[in-house]
Amino acid sequence: MAEKSTSKVIDLERISDGLKTVRWDQYKIKQFTYKGLLFKIHSNSNLQKVRFVLDNHGWLQVRIHPSITWGNILGAVIRNYSWCQQQVQNVVARYDQVAYYMQRSRTYTDGGIIYIWGMPFFLKIDKDCSQNDIVLSPARQVMAALQPKGTTRFAPRFYALSRCGYLNAQTLHSIPLIVNGRPVLPKHSLWADLKPLYYEDDNKVLHNLYLRVFLSSLNQIVHNWANNSILNTRILTAPEQAMVNEITRFYFKLHCAKDINFDTLIAAGKSAEGAAMPLWRAIETGSSSSNKNTDRFQNDPLACSTLDELAEVDQISSFFGLDLWQNNAFKLGIREQNQPITLSRPPHIDYNALPHNEALLELLWQRGIYALPNSEDAKLAAQYGVYQDLSQYEATLVTTNGVEIDPCLAMVGYLPNDTSYANVDPKKLSLDEVIGLSTHSFPMFLSQSLINERIKQEAIPYFHKTLVRPGILHVQVKGSCMPSEDTVRDMLLRFAEKELRAAADNFFKHIKSEYVRVFLTCTEYMDMPTMLWFDNLDIRKMKPLGQYRYEPPYGEIRLNRSLVHYPINVMASVILHELCHIPFCNHGKSFSNMLSLFGPGADNVTDSIIRLGLISLD
């Protein structure tokens, strides 16, 4: 028998023959590696066979009977290794690789990565302070910028890191591009054919559905850029739904202006679907990145433009790995003689006020950036004097304050798909914002339903990813000695509970009157028990995301403290679900009807957590 190790992780490929005959309950190691994969062990005396699962946080878990031998565990891992490897590859493909591995290797020491409200923060430990405290410095959105060749500090590094998969390509191509100080939407957000999207209003005035969304999105980007906030606009990630939202919002206001009930919702949905019907084909196939336009819009302004650059980038790429700190130590791909570029402030343009012809020229210029040089679209842009020759430009990353950053620092932040809440401080939600997280999501819920019927959606429709420079989570510790990991972890757990409680208390403060209103609306359609209200809110470590318990004379809603690591609408959707359990203890039809009125799509949001798989502090 091998000597019992004090290590928390063993390599299953290198265990001795003696250890193979030892039962797990005689040598309880909770984690092991095998051919580069990390496994966690969960024992259960009711299990007869070894089971492999990918848990909610994206970890490979081996479920075993406590009396199984290490040799049998090894045999089961060998037989199931291909499946386990495929699961990890699927997770890595779905997330930014750096964020994924940084979360897996996280320690509670200086330089770790922690997610708070869906955004990453560097852990910085300051000792010898007057008192124990935690302070957050906010994360900053990252934008891509094109600058004249040779003027940037980090362009070669950017190309190398994006080429070797360090930067998630899908996320990189879904952020605004800044060209000559003006924002450009991603290629998939630009429409090639506008003709089917024209319509007349009641006054016989001609409008274009896409141009409305296009100009509003540019306005929102410029406004948020000026305020150093997240560049939140749905068109960056879901342009089709952004347009269907416009249609649905109009009919929702028309039918539901005074009252929201099942009849008005059905009427709004049918009217929106009828209005969208003539536009579906244009909405579904009109994007510049759709299959029918692949021969026109293949230019990638974020890629290397010459073979010489490509060879240099390949040489640099081979030195980079997924260790954030190791990459920061490299000087490769950095032009040290250059200072980081600083962009000018965003343009003072009210895009919504642009005349129709100027709006078309703006779209023509942006489409020309992605158009192949000799394509009809490039020639059309040149004909109107708006074609941009980008052959002498290079790409780099900047934050919303316009300063170029090392692309090693660009990580993924997870935002709600309804990005109007991306910048909301959860502890300071206003009444309108609280209600917006519940009842005002009807137009989006209806448009999502229409979209799902016709357009194939991604696996995780309720969140989107954006590149950010992580914020800093300062852990200030009293005393001159560096604190242990356990001390830091305990501080962070208390901090997470404090953040969640403050946000949830604020939500409850505003939502009670809205809950009563919806409850009374439900009484018109179903028999409702006497309404019970709660006086207690409990934040704790537990398996469910939320729970409602009634122990006379009080009702109590319990929240999982891990919710602090997800976007704000996750907490809101859990609370809405539990509110609907106050009158209904089960998940029957009455419960579903009330939830559909109070928070449509709330359960879809919470279900997507399992697929998103962010790691909690627990």
* CA angle (109 as vertex; 106, 112 as ends), nearest 5: 40
pLDDT tens for 530-550 read: 777 777 889 998 888 999 998
pLDDT at residue 1, as a whole number: 38
Q: Is the four-CA dihedral 12, 17, 18, 24 of positive or negative sign?
A: positive
> How far apart are alpha carbons 304 and 160 in whole angstroms?
10
> How far apart are alpha carbons 92 and 22 in whole angstroms?
34
Domain with CATH 3.30.2010.10 in the chain: 471-612
More confident residue, 51 or 266: 51
The residue-averaged pLDDT of 85-109 equals 82
pLDDT at residue 262, as a whole number: 65
The torsion defined by the Cα of 33, 39, 45 and 48, in degrees rounded to 10, comes to: -90
Backbone angles phi, psi at 236, to 5 degrees: -65, -30
pLDDT at residue 614, as a whole number: 67
> How far apart are alpha carbons 573 and 516 in whole angstroms?
17
Nearest to 164 by CA among 94, 229, 98: 98
pLDDT tens for 343-364 read: 988 988 999 999 999 999 999 9
pLDDT at residue 5, as a whole number: 40
The residue-averaged pLDDT of 270-280 equals 77
Residue-wise burial string across 427-439, b where 16 or more C-beta atoms lie within 10 A, e elsewhere: bebeeebbbbbbb
> How far apart are alpha carbons 303 and 409 in whole angstroms?
19
pLDDT tens for 6-37 read: 457 899 999 999 999 999 999 999 899 999 88
pLDDT at residue 526, as a whole number: 75
pLDDT tens for 128-169 read: 888 889 999 999 999 999 999 999 999 999 999 998 888 888
> How far apart are alpha carbons 35 and 85 in whole angstroms?
9
pLDDT at residue 471, as a whole number: 94
Q: What is the chain's mean pLDDT, rounded? A: 86
Nearest to 224 by CA among 67, 85, 401: 401
The residue-averaged pLDDT of 209-236 equals 90
CA distances from 158 to 217, 316, 336, 396, 539 (A): 27, 10, 14, 6, 42
The one-character DSSP state at 23 is B
SS3 content of the chain, % helix, strand, coil (to 5): 45, 20, 35
Complete DSSP assignment for 292-334: GGTTT----TTS--SHHHHHHHHHHHTT--S-HHHHHH--TT-
Backbone angles phi, psi at 305, to 5 degrees: -100, -15
> How far apart are alpha carbons 301 and 303 in whole angstroms?
6
Answer for the pair 399, 410: CB distance below 8 angstroms, yes or no. no
Q: Is the pLDDT of residue 248 over 50?
A: yes
Confidence of residue 4 (pLDDT cuts 50, 70, 90): very low
Confidence of residue 365 (pLDDT cuts 50, 70, 90): very high
Q: Is the pLDDT of residue 273 over 80?
A: no
pLDDT at residue 2, as a whole number: 39
More confident residue, 241 or 575: 575
pLDDT tens for 397-452 read: 999 999 999 999 999 998 887 777 788 889 998 887 887 776 546 677 777 777 77
Beta strands 206-208 and 198-200: pairing type?
antiparallel
Answer for the pair 470, 409: CB distance below 8 angstroms, yes or no. yes
Tokens of 88: 């990890």
Answer for the pair 467, 410: CB distance below 8 angstroms, yes or no. yes
The hierarchical CATH code for the domain 471-612 is 3.30.2010.10
Confidence of residue 616 (pLDDT cuts 50, 70, 90): low
Confidence of residue 51 (pLDDT cuts 50, 70, 90): very high
Answer for the pair 226, 346: CB distance below 8 angstroms, yes or no. yes
Tokens of 262: 């099942």
Its pTM stands at: 0.85
> How far apart are alpha carbons 172 and 155 in whole angstroms?
14
Give the number of other CB atoms < 10 A from CB of residue 182: 17
pLDDT at residue 438, as a whole number: 62
Q: Is the pLDDT of residue 299 over 80?
A: yes
pLDDT at residue 261, as a whole number: 66
Q: Is the pLDDT of residue 277 over 80?
A: no
Assess whether the previous peptide bond of 148 is cis (omega < 30° from 0): no
Residue-wise burial string across 477-493, b where 16 or more C-beta atoms lie within 10 A, e elsewhere: beeeeebeeebbeebbe
pLDDT at residue 24, as a whole number: 94
